């Protein structure tokens, strides 16, 4: 059964940069081939109070990279006596991924890291197996990314607030969930702003979905 767990995959994760923070949204389905294996899988994880990571791809690889990165950020805080930034988290994760590509089996994942940066600003990065790290205004990763990008390109604009970004992220995720068989079974939404990391409860997400 552990072998099956290691190869669960399938996802749509979305990140949006806003003037006052970052929005992350993700579905909750894990799949194996054409089967939905689990319906309540977390794909957005808190690294610090102002940095988070989203995962797509092989579950075991995503889990171990999250643990490695969280530990590296804690060491950074101890060594530098300063809170790590989104830039620092992206650089550390990029190094981990690049090191993994030397292995016979590189990490089979697509990741996003985002949160607070220097000068009270915010940033999101997409990272993939080779170790590349690219910052952008909006990002979609996973099996439903093509469907999500169509919605994001139509609705994103510069100067969005976090409240507006949540609505746009949910619209994009809804587009993916309608067509991508590997995405579904619930939605998680997380925002990171000046106050820190905040995960929305199910009732709040349902309220926004009804209004959008």
Helix (H, G, I), strand (E, B) or coil at 195: coil
DSSP string, 91-157: HHHHHHHHHHTTSSS---EEEEEEEE-GGG-EEEEEEETT--EEE-SEEEEETTHHHHHHHHHHH--
CATH number of the domain that residue 70 is part of = 3.60.20.10
Residue 104: predicted pLDDT = 56
% residues pLDDT > 90 (the chain):
59
Better-predicted residue by pLDDT, 127 or 176: 127
In a domain, 188, yes or no: yes
Arithmetic mean of pLDDT over the chain: 86
Residue 199: predicted pLDDT = 96
Better-predicted residue by pLDDT, 207 or 9: 207
Instruction: Give yes or no for residue 201 having a pLDDT over 50.
Output: yes
pTM of the model: 0.87
Taking the C-alpha atoms of residue 148 and residue 24, their distance in angstroms, rounded to an integer, is 13
In a domain, 18, yes or no: yes
Active site (annotated) includes residue 11: yes
Instruction: Give yes or no for residue 28 having a pLDDT over 90.
Output: no
Domain, as residue range, for 123: 2-206
Residue 180: predicted pLDDT = 58
Better-predicted residue by pLDDT, 17 or 146: 17
Active-site residue identified among 11, 12, 13, 85:
11
Window from 73-87, 110-124, 151-165, 177-191 with minimum mean pLDDT: 177-191
Band of the pLDDT at 203, cuts 50, 70, 90? Answer: confident
Instruction: Give yes or no for residue 124 having a pLDDT over 70.
Output: yes
Taking the C-alpha atoms of residue 134 and residue 209, their distance in angstroms, rounded to an integer, is 30
Residue 107: predicted pLDDT = 81
In a domain, 79, yes or no: yes
In a domain, 212, yes or no: no
Domain count, the chain: 1
In a domain, 211, yes or no: no
Give the mean model confidence (pLDDT) for residues 175-182: 70
Instruction: Give yes or no for residue 1 having a pLDDT over 80.
Output: no
Band of the pLDDT at 108, cuts 50, 70, 90? Answer: confident
Report which secondary-structure segment, H or E, holds 181: none
């Amino acid at each position: 059964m552990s072998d099956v767990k290691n190869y669960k995959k399938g996802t749509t994760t979305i990140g949006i940069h806003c003037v006052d923070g970052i929005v992350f949204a993700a579905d909750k389905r894990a799949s194996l081939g054409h089967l939905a294996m689990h319906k309540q899988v977390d794909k957005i994880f808190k690294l610090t109070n102002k940095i988070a990571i989203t995962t797509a791809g092989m579950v075991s690889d995503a889990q171990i990279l999250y643990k490695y990165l969280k530990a590296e950020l804690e060491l950074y805080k101890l060594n530098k006596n300063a809170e790590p930034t989104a830039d620092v988290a992206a650089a550390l994760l990029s190094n981990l991924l690049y090191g993994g590509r030397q292995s016979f089996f590189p990490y089979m994942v697509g990741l996003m890291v985002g949160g607070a940066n220097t000068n009270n600003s915010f940033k999101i990065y997409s990272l993939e197996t080779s170790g590349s790290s690219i910052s952008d205004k909006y990002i979609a990763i996973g099996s439903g990314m093509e469907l999500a990008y169509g919605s994001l390109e139509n609705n994103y604009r510069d100067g969005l607030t976090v409240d507006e970004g949540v609505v746009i992220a949910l619209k994009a995720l809804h587009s993916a969930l309608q067509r991508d068989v590997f995405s579904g079974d619930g939605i998680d939404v997380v925002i990171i702003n000046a106050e820190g990391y905040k995960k929305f409860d199910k009732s709040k997400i349902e309220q926004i979905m009804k209004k959008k």
